[in-house]
Structure 1
Amino acid sequence: MKIYLLKKISFLFLVSNLALNPNSWSQQKNNLALTGTATASSSQSGFEPSKATDGMFGLESSWKNKAESEETWLMLKLPGATEITELFIHMTEGSSVVSDFKIQTILNGSWRNVKEISSNTSHRVVVGFEPPILTDRIRLWMGKNESVSIAELEAYGQQYVDSTAMEVRKILVNQSGYNLDRPKRFSAPSLADQSPFEVIKAKDRKVLYSGFIEKGKGDFSDFNPNSQEEYIIVSGHEESFPFRIGPYWLERVTYRNIVDFMIGARHYIGSTNLIRPLSFEWRDGDFFNWALQSLVALYLANPGAFERMEKTVSYVHNSTFPHEYKGLWGALEPFHEDAPDLIKLIHWDVDVKISQCLEHEMQKAELAHFLYAWPYLEKWLPQQNFDRVYEYARKKWEKTTVSANSTSQYDLSPEHNLLTLKTQMGTTKGEMPPGYSVIPNLMMYEVTKKRGEQDAEKYFEAAYHQMEWMIQNLDWKDPIVTKGQRISEHITMRAFAYFYSQFLERAPKGLKEKVTEWAKIAISRSDNYWDFRKYSDDEDWVPPSWNETGNVLGFPAAVFSAMSIVEDKELNQKLEILAWSHFDNAFGKNPVGRHFSHRGPEEIEGVDLGWYNAHKGGYGLLEEVRFVFDGSPKSFHYPNHPEVGNLGWTEGWVQFNTAFNTSMAYSANHYTYLTLSVNSKNKLEIRLEAPLNFDPTLTESIPILVHNEHGQKISVTLLEEFPYSRVFVANLNITKSGITSNKENIKWEKGGSLTVSYGLGYFKKSVAIIRQD
């Protein structure tokens, strides 16, 4: 994604060599450095970086580096966004003068030079900024192999306050609503501990539930009304926005929006037909958008919900476009028109990959998801689709080089053979998360093994060695391995979950223990007003300077993946709170009290306040697409600084939405359950709990197949148990030799078995029963 500056800012720097009493400089001024935290590239014992910001100027209160360090820098992190007008640098008297150094601030995760100073001869330097530098961290970079001693680093200016920032409610909730029988929490960081709160009905102010605020948080998880009413949290004179509660409220307000966003964000044929840079299948999608696997996961996790959805997509022939569009798509034969929109989007993604011969390792790795899911897609797609993709993937999988048309400036891959061990770590851009080759290789193993390929085992071996390396080498305490991967963090934990669920008997030693360690660290970084997993153990809440929207949205997928492995019940309860707290964060339970989508109030049922603004233009041209996640709170806003207002970069990105897609898929899988039993009325009862009941005013249904051991099957329609139920039920008549449903029957004799399932592939939930009489 192209990164732009919010404003074009020019700096006027004044560098003076002064021989004044340093203490006189700060008279009548507020040295902001005294409120900040200093860190450095290295330090000598007794001369730590904190001594450069303690307000004392003597030799004993100086920071000294280790001269043998590869680089030397001193960084000041302030409590929040600050307009810095002056920086005073006091080098220790008697020490060597640093003649050349740079002053840097951080932008989009990278340090940028704002001034380079050379040929300095003084121990005291002052730098003025007009207009001020707006940042929360600034550093001196002094190169390599230099002995440096700084007596004091002073910063002057003022805390940044957005004059247009609106007052934020003191009680912050998921503005749209909550799911029944799931964690339901709110944040009230400025209200006194042990303040009482009440859940009231918005219509008549009737009190329905009460509790106490503890450490800035309230919990009403056991409030589970069967109603379409709106509710409000009240504490004293403070009130939240209204919200509702439903069996699958989050799914209700997002599923159609998810599909509509992906329809509009398609390259060439979405909401615009323009050819865009950094775009392949999706506008501004680059090679690491993870879109195909997110769409496949959504379908495998909850096929019924997407099959019943209104169909709005038709095939667009490449031949109807101008010459410059020739070959950009169309290598795959068209889908059947009766296919669900989600399947048509899957087809679109794969078609572009094959048509343009995209060879980047992450693009071709995505094809494994399509091949793996083929048994569930083939009823809507021509066989030619599978044959072309299978041939292409087999041919390109081990290719080490990549064609120029398949990559971008963000490509960090040393080479593109997906069977090699991947030890290169990506940046906070999110382009190379650990373990991105694991699931694709395991899928290719299953696909090729089923087709009788003699070399199928090589894919498993590559995945095994990659997982083994991850277990041995990933340090969960290092933020770059987790939240530092930003939009792509979910890739790593999902790799662990896939290996564990599909190949438990062949999994590397220590897999479960490694995931449990990840869970404990995530929880340890989440004890705050928002139940929000912080970037690191120190003061950083989010990846410095980044718009981390996709990490918040994708984190639940990582959490649900971990929960499928972790055995500690208490640990899993805490993880579940984290999964839902991050959904809630995106829906307004955050320091600025806003939904991540600028047009949220127009597009999402129940949302009251959207993100400050939407980016116009950019590579994605997403402003006209429905359900864009535009922005999220930055480091400046945490732990609770709403006064900062609309500060930091805002721009929707396909990668943000695909991260959310993936979380919704893993949530659906996590909360899908099946039972099969003979009830007291001698009926065969099927009970399915899955995200399918979205509207209490309609009697919703879902078809499901029942199989016997002979391969016979009948279709059974399950109905919601009652308007607000999470469960769908069917009761079948048992005869002497079988079962019947709608005049259909299959054999079920003594000792015989019946099987039902929901979900597909690696998300399949299945249960069987053996007849006893």
Structure 2
Amino acid sequence: MFIKGMKNRRRFTLGFWVCGMLTLCGTYAVNAQNNLSFSARATSSSALENNGANLAIDNSPESYWSSQSEDENAWLVLRFPGATEVVKIEINFAPKAIPNDAFHLQYLLNGNWRTFHKVTNNKDQKVEVELKKPQLIDRVRLLATDGQMMQVSEVLLLGQKYADASGLENKPVLVNQSGYNLNRSKRFTAPDVNDHTPFAVVNVKTGKEEFTGKVMREKGDFSNFNPLSEDEFLIKIKELESFPFRIGPNWIERVTYRNMVDFMLGARHYVGTVDDIRRISFAWRDGDFFNWSMQSLVAMYLSNPEAYERMERKGRYVSNDSFPDNYKGLWGKLEPFAAETPDIVQLIHWDADVKISQQLDHEMQKAELAHFLYAWPYLKQWLPQQNFDIVYQYVKDNWEKETVSDHSLSQYNLSKEHNLLSLKTQLGTTKGEMPPGFSVIPNLMLYEVALREGDATAEKFFSAAYRQLDWMIKNLDWSDPMTTKGQRMSEHMTMRAFAYFYQQFPDRAPKGIPEKVKEWAQLMLDRSDNLWDFRKYSAEEWTPPGWNETGNILGFPAAVFAANGILEDKALIKDLEMLAWSHFENAFGRNPTGRQFSYKGPEEVEGVDLGWYSRHRGGIGLLDEVQFVFDGSPKSFHYPNFPEVGDLGWTEGWVQFNTAFNLSMAYMANYYTAIALEKTAEGKYQVALTAPINFDYKTIEKASLTISNKAGDIIVVELGDEQALAEKLTGEIEFTGDAILCENQRLPFGKNDSLTLSYGYGFFQRSLVISAADFN
């Protein structure tokens, strides 16, 4: 059944799962059944001394595993090195033991054990289970259901070897198929290639080797290769090659920004690509109460406003006046936005409108509205004042409300009460519905809004955020996966809370933030020391067992960039930065399947060659036809490198996956944004902005940068890129001794004055402060 590969990695090919259904597709049998148990690792709920779980798979009928007598739910789990197809299971109870009367055989899906076979009224020492359909698993659990101790001498799992052709379509060298950003980390994975084997980055057009290096630990680094070219490249290692890719300024932003907005437009509930009323859906189809859409949209806009304001307007206001009666009141409480409002602002308005119109009062739905209120100074040029007034009043009336309306709930609600000033000490499950610290940023934002509005009670919001973060510093155990990757697509919420408090309120933040974040950072690196530079769930598990973790990979860079804003160790920062990029690479093909996470990736994302195997048709969200859906990602049984597994495990897009990516892109934009001022001649200065603006390498891109003095007077300098592949946009200003001149604008600037050059808004504003002395 197993073929031993290089570096002791076991490989095998088999059938695959489609959308969680236990079916075989495109497979063929090639050999007889084999006992697979010898390749497994056994664990148990309990064990007597000298009767450990491993004795149930040691091929000796005399030895046996025994649970403890008080263990009323005894279980034995066999974990395989990859996915395994099982057709028959044989259970041999210990010779002198009383066999269990009832027990279940189970597999793991979405974090839950699912029973695929039940045995009742058993009296036999040997039980043979012939499965009607082959069972595809990477672990199986034998669970006693009669309340008795369990004593098993041997468990045999028999299976056949199958080949899934779809699992072998990738390349032997795995890269980001679309492309890499200029002057950023760039890596690839070459499974089973020996250390010190030379590799080359080859120009596809000319065939010329333009960069060389050596493979180490099955991966290569070509971060120092930064060609100013629009050519395609590929990695070549002897006869092995990768898919072609591009390298350019802001490449990942170029191929995703418009797609990100289009997904959010299409995934809207009622008015997106479909107008059906869907269950477990509010503003977004299959969005639930923990989709983080509002904060992701606000973060996107604040981090890089020029990029979103210049986009083509595809959205429009849709009134529900022409809809059937059951649509009345689902949205429309907020007055419509102005004509020519950017799509990103339309989406922010939509989210707030649905929440207010439906009076959604789950604590996480209320918390999202704080982001709308915080961003109001930057939104109000397009939105009526009524929008702010009604949302602010709703938030003030409901923020401390402990109860929740039934219509705001779903089956995933775990909140014990809904007062957002309360201390939140429970951890959510791998569903991602209750990440640690989700209330910190909303409370701090509402504190700033209350101060802005002259509310005398503002301090209570700050105090709540302080108590929450202080508790997190003292109580979160990073070694527990449920505080990190176990939160799946919501993990970023925790580290972002640390960063927001530390950066926005440095003099009032709880003690211990840098130390706590450094502990997190080191653990992330420790768990990523592998051929994919992939942060594992734990020392033993690659991914959350049984889950489609797509959003976790997409959201992890947001946590990294947030942490790097706190850390001071330059080496640690650089290593973490590489991890952020390795996870973008993972999502775009540098993973064991060799596939980008979107089924329609080849037609929707520039440069993608191989999209995800399949997509989930229908589902709660009806998202399969929406632009830029992240459908699936490698599961635990694909790692460390089993491409032969193919399309096995659950596949389905989810709004929560895309919003996690939205936040990573927002935090990355802010992380790399920089402003510089350089003297070019007497009284002449060049202003330079580094930000993800240049997407079209064939046109001159434009952006605006604000300059203000101490008095609050403002001028705007227009910037443009100097060349097609420029990372910086530049403009000119003049200093006359008492003023700054820019085109027809004049900004008073005395000898005791200072200038602030800024880009971005709110907590994502990047600024450069210049004193008068700096001009002399």
- TM band (smaller chain): over 0.9
Give 3-state SS (helix, strand or coil) of 1:429's partner: coil
Aligned counterpart, 1:693: 694
Specify which of 4, 7, 12 is matched with residue 21 of structure 2: 7
Q: Of the candidates 480, 483, 486, which is equivalent to residue 484 of structure 1?
A: 486
Alpha-carbon distance in 1 for matches of 2:18, 2:339: 40
Tell me, what secondary structure is at the counterpart of 2:168? coil
Query: Aligned-pair distance for 1:403?
Result: 1.2
Aligned to 2:198: 196
- Look up the match of 1:560: 561
Alignment of 1:31 onto 2:38? no
- Supply the distance in 1 between the matched residues of 2:22 and 2:139 (Cα, whole angstroms): 19
Would the aligned equivalents of 2:616 and 2:631 in 1 still touch at CA under 8 Å? yes
- Report the counterpart of residue 18 of structure 1 in structure 2: none
- Residue 259 to residue 614, structure 1, CA distance change in 2 (3 Å): same
Say if 1:248 and 1:628 are closer, same or farther in 2 by CA, change over 3 A: same
Q: 1:393 to 1:542 in 2, by over 3 A?
A: same
Aligned AA (1:151) = S
Within 2, Cα distance between the matches of 1:411 and 1:162?
Answer: 39
**Equivalent-residue separation in structure 2 for 1:144 and 1:507 (angstroms):** 54
Partner of 1:281: helix, strand, or coil? coil
SS of the residue corresponding to residue 577 of structure 1 reads helix
- Deviation at residue 681 of structure 1 after TM alignment: 3.8
Q: How many Å apart are 1:5 and its aligned residue? A: 5.5
Give the whole-Å Cα distance in 2 for the aligned partners of 1:76 and 1:488: 30
Is 1:260 matched with 2:262?
yes
- Residues 679, 45 of structure 1: CA spacing in aligned structure 2 closer, same or farther, 3 A cutoff? farther
Deviation at 1:334, TM superposition (A): 0.6
Residue type at the aligned position of 1:420: S
Shift in alpha-carbon separation, 1:42–1:469, aligned structure 2, 3 A: farther
The aligned residue for residue 707 of structure 1 is 708
Any idea what the Cα deviations from partners look like across 1:542-584, whole Å, max 9, x if unmatched?
1112111111111111111111112221111111111001111
CA distance in 1, matches of 2:573, 2:237: 30
> Equivalents in 2 of 1:692, 1:131: separation in Å?
54
Is residue 2:661 matched to residue 1:660? yes
**What SS is found at the alignment partner of 1:506?**
coil
Match of 1:684 in 2: 685
Distance 1:69 1:738 in 2: 81
Choose from 168, 179, 182 the match for 2:181: 179
Partner of 2:149: 147
Looking at structure 1, the residues matched to 376 and 68 of structure 2 have their Cα atoms a distance apart, in angstroms, of: 58
1:278 aligns with 2:280: yes
CA contact (8 A) 1:81 1:136 kept: yes
Q: State the distance in 2 between where 1:69 and 1:563 align.
A: 46
Can you list the C-alpha shifts for 1:179-209, whole angstroms capped at 9, x where unaligned? 0110011111132322211111111101111
CA distance in 1 between counterparts of 2:362 and 2:160 reads 47
Match of 1:54 in 2: 58
The residue number in structure 1 matching 2:410 is 408
**2:49 pairs with 1:45:** yes
Q: Match for 1:56: what amino acid?
A: S
Give yes or no for contact 1:68–1:145 (8 Å, CA) kept in 2: no
Which one is further off, 96-105 or 344-353? 96-105
Q: Judge conservation of contact 1:551–1:659 (CA < 8 Å) in 2.
A: yes
TM-aligned CA deviation for residue 731 of structure 1:
2.1
Q: Which residue of 1 aligns with 2:374?
A: 372
SS in 2 for 1:257: helix
Q: Distance in 1 between matches of 2:49 and 2:680?
A: 74
CA deviation after TM superposition for structure 1 residue 374, in Å: 0.8
What do the CA deviations read for 1:140-169 (whole angstroms, capped 9, x no partner)? 112586433322222111355324433321
SS at match of 1:318: coil
In structure 1, what is the Cα distance between the partners aligned to 2:573 and 2:485? 20
RMSD: 1.8
CA deviation map 1:628-687 (0-9, x unaligned): 111111112111111111111211111111111010001001101112354454323322
SS at match of 1:398: coil
Greater CA drift, 723-732 or 516-525: 723-732
Matches within 5 A, 1:382-393: 382-393=384-395
Instruction: State whether residues 52 and 62 of structure 1, in contact with CA within 8 Å, keep that contact through their aligned partners in structure 2.
Output: yes
Paired position in structure 2 for 1:497: 499
Greater shift in the superposed pair: 511-520 or 552-561: 511-520
Residue 573 of structure 1: aligned partner: 574
Distance in 1 of aligned mates of 2:690 and 2:161: 51
Which residue does 1:354 correspond to in 2?
356
> What amino acid does structure 2 have at the position aligned with 1:133?
Q
* Pairing of 1:150-165 with structure 2 (within 5 A): 150-165=152-167
Q: Which runs of 5+ in 1 are unaligned?
A: 11-27
**Counterpart residue number, 1:381:** 383
Q: Deviations over 1:14-37 (max 9, x none)?
A: xxxxxxxxxxxxxx9632111011
Amino acid aligned to 1:684: Y
SS at match of 1:39: strand
CA distance 1:310–1:5, change in 2 (3 Å): closer
Structure 1 residue 236 displacement after superposition: 0.8
Cα distance change, pair 755–100 in 1 and its aligned pair in 2 (3 A): same
CA distance in 2, matches of 1:336, 1:597: 34
Higher mean C-alpha displacement, 209-218 vs 451-460: 451-460
The gaps in structure 2 that reach 5 residues or longer are 1-16, 25-31
Contact 1:599 1:610 (8 Å CA) reproduced: yes
Bigger shift: residues 598-607 or 500-509: 500-509
Deviates more, 1:69-78 or 1:760-769: 69-78
Choose which of 223, 227, 230 in structure 1 pairs with 2:225.
223
**What secondary structure, in the 3-state scheme, does the structure 2 residue paired with 1:716 have?**
strand
Structure 2 Cα separation of the partners of residues 739 and 163 of structure 1? 66
Q: CA deviation at 1:609?
A: 1.2
Structure 1: distance between partners of 2:491 and 2:111: 16
Equivalent position SS for 1:198? strand
Partner residue in 2 for 1:22: none
Partner Cα distance (2:106, 2:333) in 1: 49
Shift of 1:68: 3.6
Structure 2 letter corresponding to 1:54: D
Separation in 1, partners of 2:660, 2:440: 18
Identify the match of residue 437 of structure 2 among 435, 438, 447.
435
The reply on whether 1:120 has 2:122 as its aligned counterpart is yes
The DSSP-based 3-state class of the residue aligned with 1:352 is helix
Change (3 A) 1:717 1:589: same
Q: Distance in 2 between matches of 1:429 and 1:270?
A: 25
State the partner residue of 1:16. none
| Structure 1 residues 375-396: Cα deviation after superposition (integer angstroms, max 9, x where no partner) | 1111111110000000001111
Letter in 2 for 1:537: A
Say whether the 8 Å CA contact 1:79–1:136 is kept in structure 2: yes
Q: Distance in 2 between matches of 1:64 and 1:95?
A: 9
SS at match of 1:504: coil
The answer on whether the counterparts of 1:81 and 1:160 sit within 8 Å (CA) in structure 2 is no
**Residues 186-242 of structure 1: CA deviation (Å, up to 9, x unaligned):** 111132322211111111101111111111101100000111111111111111111
Tell me how far apart the structure 1 counterparts of residues 33 and 646 of structure 2 sit (CA, whole Å): 26
Q: CA deviation at 1:4?
A: 9.9
Q: Corresponding residue for 1:102? A: 104
Which one is further off, 464-473 or 493-502? 464-473
Which amino acid in 2 is paired with 1:48?
G
Q: What is the aligned partner in structure 1 of residue 423 from structure 2?
A: 421
Compared CA separation, residues 120 and 720, structure 1 to 2 (3 A): same
Amino acid at match of 1:750: K
Amino acid at match of 1:578: L
Per-residue deviation, 1:110: 0.4
Aligned with residue 137 of structure 1, among 136, 139, 142 = 139
Shift of residue 431 of structure 1? 1.0
Partners of 1:692 and 1:736 in 2: how far apart?
Answer: 32
Query: What is the distance in 2 between the residues matched to 1:144 and 1:391?
Result: 56
The alignment status of 1:82 with 2:84, answered yes or no, reads: yes
1:460 aligns to what?
462
Q: Distance in 1 between matches of 2:564 and 2:677?
A: 24
Distance 1:212 1:146 in 2: 58
Sequence identity (%)? 56
